[in-house]
Amino acid sequence: VGGARAYHERVVDHYENPRNVGSFKDDDPSVGTGLVGAPACGDVMKLQIRVDESTGKITDACFKTFGCGSAIASSSVATEWVKGKQMEEVLTIKNTEIAKHLSLPPVKLHCSMLAEDAIKAAVKNYEAKKAKLGQNGEEKA
Ligand code: FES
Ligand code: FES
């Protein structure tokens, strides 16, 4: 078990069986939604995170992608990588890491960029919602 071969098969599996396809309710204050589009091809990706307010940890993630297979596989990997991590931590996920993980060719790099952008947008959306609801415990004067 394990080793390079098993690893490769798991990656291929993201194309055939994307993980975490779905939606969370956007009006849920524990949910952050990132919606991004790729100007190059018009594909759109929605990635959502569910955050535990007390710890800042991402407990769940899902996506819906209207795009190519590489964009769908990139979203699938992104949702797996963000689960169980802190929000600050997922902001450091680079599209090049996702592309490398999936062995994407250079022409498909922008597809993985959608995933990086969607993660950042989801965190930003969660933070903005939280600030608006005044749940950050620091009342702005
Ligand atoms: Fe699923 Fe690596 S094979 S994230
Ligand atoms: Fe545009 Fe893949 S071709 S996201």
Mutational test site, ligand 1, from 5, 14, 21, 100, max ligand atoms within 8 Å of CB? 14
What ipTM is given for this predicted complex? Answer: 0.94
Q: Which atom of ligand 1 is nearest to the CA of 7?
A: 3
Active site residues: 41, 111
E-assigned strand segments in the chain:
31-37, 44-52, 57-66
Walk along the chain (141 residues) and give the pLDDT tens digit of each residue: 455 556 678 888 999 999 999 999 999 999 999 999 988 899 999 999 999 999 999 999 999 999 999 999 999 999 999 999 999 999 999 999 999 999 999 999 999 999 999 999 999 999 999 998 875 555 555
CA 89 remoteness from chain centre = 12
pTM for this one?
A: 0.90
| Tokens representing residue 20 in the block | 């975490």
- Bridge partners, residue 54, by sequence: none
